[in-house]
Amino acid sequence: MLHILVTGSKGQLGSEIKKVSKNYPTIQFTFVDREEMPLDDNDFIITFLNQLQPNLIVSAGAYTAVDQAENEKELVDQINHLAVATMAKWCSNNHAKLIHISTDYVFDGKSAIPYKENDHTSPINWYGETKLRGEQAIERIMQEAVIIRTAWVYSEFGHNFVKTMLRLMKERESIGVVNDQVGTPTYALDLAKAIMTIIESDNWVSGVFHFSNEGEISWYDFAVEINKLGGLNCKVNAVSSDQFPTAAKRPNYSLLDKTKIKQTYNVMVPAWEESLKLCLKILNP
């Protein structure tokens, strides 16, 4: 029986994988978060993996507080880079596979066309830098790994833009949302399903892949749609990133080209509007 370890089990993606795991009775899943397998302790990781002996690790756990990351550099590098390298080494030594989740923040956002997997990486914040280091460590250490870069993740679980917008739109008459950062959101449930499609595939193809929902929007466009679909009457104002200073810079453009994952694994990529509707039915019935 295939035994899959999922890290970051309380995060958005880990929670969605847990939700879909019941559709796979022939697979054994173990879900861990920082309490069961702390990613800031490499020795513990190895001991834990030696006891558990999974055939495949889905590395969904990460330090994702992008602004806070600028002030906790050592911890962020440990979780997003060194812990990932430790898992990759264990997988390499134990003939296990690895699916690792990375980010659009490995790019600088200066492109005008969707980023392909082999485009030049150049992170502009520490979170993106450590995620890139994690990718590079995997590529150095092992062959049997799939790295999936994703973007703007939201879900019914955890903290995310959609839930924050719903709360603010109910509390306030108007809000300001940046309109000069362009990309596509990712419904974590869609990503969870894509990961399971890869796991179930007869043909394991390692490498870097991109996944987000289809479309091209700004955060402002996203907020306008949340307001509309949520049946709310908040006024959404477009503002520039300059009016919204943050500790960490954000890429202005982070649209990901999904051609490779669609062609290689026949993964379904829903339109962002359709996925948002599904999530809002759960969050805002």
**pLDDT tens for each residue of 153-208:** 999 999 999 999 999 999 999 999 999 999 999 999 999 999 999 999 999 999 99
Domains of the chain: 3-159+185-214+254-270 (3.40.50.720)
Question: Rounded CA gap, 10 and 59, in Å?
Answer: 13
Q: Is 208 exposed, middle or buried (0-12, 13-18, 19+ CB in 10 A)?
A: buried
Do 208 and 147 meet the contact criterion of CB atoms below 8 Å apart? Answer: yes
Give the model confidence (pLDDT) of 11-67 as tens digits. Answer: 999 999 999 999 999 999 999 999 999 999 999 999 999 999 999 999 999 999 999
CA distance 79 to 61: 8
Give the pLDDT of residue 284: 84
Binning pLDDT at 50, 70 and 90, where does residue 248 land? very high
What does the alpha-carbon distance between residue 246 and residue 42 come to, in Å, rounded to a whole number? 31
Say which amino acid occupies 251. P
Active-site amino acid positions: 127
Q: Are 246 and 125 in contact (CB under 8 A)?
A: no
Question: Where does 106-256 have alpha helices with state H?
Answer: 126-141, 161-171, 188-200, 219-229
Tokens of 246: 């943050």
Tens of pLDDT, residues 105-150? 999 999 999 999 999 999 999 999 999 999 999 999 998 899 999 9
CB-based contact 57:98 (threshold 8 Å): yes
CB atoms closer than 10 angstroms to residue 20? 13
| pLDDT, position 25 | 97
Instruction: Please give the backbone phi and psi of residue 51, each rounded to the nearest 5 degrees, phi first.
Output: -75, -40
Alpha helices (H) in 173-283, listed in sequence order: 188-200, 219-229, 259-265, 272-283
pLDDT in tens, 87-106: 999 999 999 999 999 999 99
Give the residue-averaged pLDDT of 221-248: 95
Q: What is the pLDDT of residue 285?
A: 80
Residue 219 predicted with pLDDT over 90: yes
At residue 244, the pLDDT reads: 84
How many of the other CB atoms lie within 10 Å of CB of 230? 18
Cα–Cα–Cα angle for 188, 65, 136, rounded to 5 degrees: 75
The predicted model gives 229-253 an average pLDDT of 94
